[in-house]
Chain A
Amino acid sequence: GQQVMQIPQYQHVQEGEDFTTYCNSSTTLSNIQWYKQRPGGHPVFLIQLVKSGEVKKQKRLTFQFGEAKKNSSLHITATQTTDVGTYFCAWFFQGAQKLVFGQGTRLTINP
């Protein structure tokens, strides 16, 4: 069956350091979405990637979709305390017609 792993589960960095979270799939994905959930908040949509090898940027955030559409990453350059939260990847599971969320990467930052 379709399996997608999100790693790492936790990441603690010093403010100003970079941060990366990865989602790796055993099968080809049609698309991948990224969400951010602040502590005590709700998931907020960040971006969607659809094309093979796609790279999108939002200020200090860079999102990539692998050439084989089996992996994706979110990279934050020079983290700030406002980046604290849990980052989820999500993909559409065709068989069950549902959006499936990864386990998330919880980012904490030392100011």
Chain B
Amino acid sequence: DSGVTQTPKHLITATGQRVTLRCSPRSGDLSVYWYQQSLDQGLQFLIQYYNGEERAKGNILERFSAQQFPDLHSELNLSSLELGDSALYFCASSVYGHIAPGTDTQYFGPGTRLTVL
């Protein structure tokens, strides 16, 4: 158990819909990262938040957005869903994420499996 929690574990929805994935980081971690893992694309970095502020952006679509709240939990919003958005979505957290970035250990949550029908 990494200490990172994600809800829900599974989500099945239809094309065109909007969903929200939730992540609670490990106690004391200030950074939250979102990743998408699909069979053909591997583990793709989407976005990072540090202490409520967006820190880095990866291959995140305009239909996707995220935020980190004052209590440090984060939500990833996916809208106008397409079949190709079906994937595992992981949240990870780290202590800093801004000091010597890339050297922080990232702790991954169990993931949310999204299926778009």
The one of B56, B58, B106 in contact with A45, judged by C-beta atoms closer than 8 angstroms, is B106
Flag the segment in B68-76, B78-86, B108-116 that touches A.
Answer: B108-116
- Which residues of chain A are within 8 angstroms of B44 by Cβ–Cβ distance? 101
CA distance A104 to B92 in the complex (A): 18
- Which residues of chain B are within 8 angstroms of A94 by Cβ–Cβ distance? 102
Tell whether, in the assembled complex, residue B102 and residue A44 are in contact, meaning their CB atoms are under 8 Å apart: no
The one of B42, B45, B108 in contact with A42, judged by C-beta atoms closer than 8 angstroms, is B108
- Which residues of chain B are within 8 angstroms of A104 by Cβ–Cβ distance? 42-43
- Which residues of chain A are within 8 angstroms of B108 by Cβ–Cβ distance? 42-44
The one of B103, B106, B107 in contact with A31, judged by C-beta atoms closer than 8 angstroms, is B103
**Interface residues of chain B: helix, strand, loop or mixed (majority):** strand
Tell whether, in the assembled complex, residue A97 and residue B56 are in contact, meaning their CB atoms are under 8 Å apart: yes
B4 CB to closest chain A CB (Å) equals 8
- Which residues of chain A are within 8 angstroms of B109 by Cβ–Cβ distance? 42
Q: Does A48 contact B (CB under 8 A)?
A: yes
A26 CB to closest chain B CB (Å) equals 18
Q: Does A87 contact B (CB under 8 A)?
A: no
Of residues 57 through 111 on chain A, the ones whose CB sits less than 8 Å from some CB of chain B are 88, 91-94, 96-104
Tell whether, in the assembled complex, residue B58 and residue A42 are in contact, meaning their CB atoms are under 8 Å apart: no
Tell whether, in the assembled complex, residue A101 and residue B103 are in contact, meaning their CB atoms are under 8 Å apart: no
Tell whether, in the assembled complex, residue A92 and residue B103 are in contact, meaning their CB atoms are under 8 Å apart: yes
Can you name 13 extra interface pairs (CB under 8 A) apart from A98-B56, A104-B43? A43-B90, A43-B108, A44-B108, A45-B107, A92-B101, A92-B102, A96-B58, A97-B48, A98-B58, A99-B33, A99-B45, A101-B42, A104-B42
10 intermolecular pairs with C-beta atoms under 8 Å apart: A42-B110, A43-B92, A43-B108, A44-B2, A45-B107, A91-B102, A94-B102, A97-B56, A97-B102, A101-B44
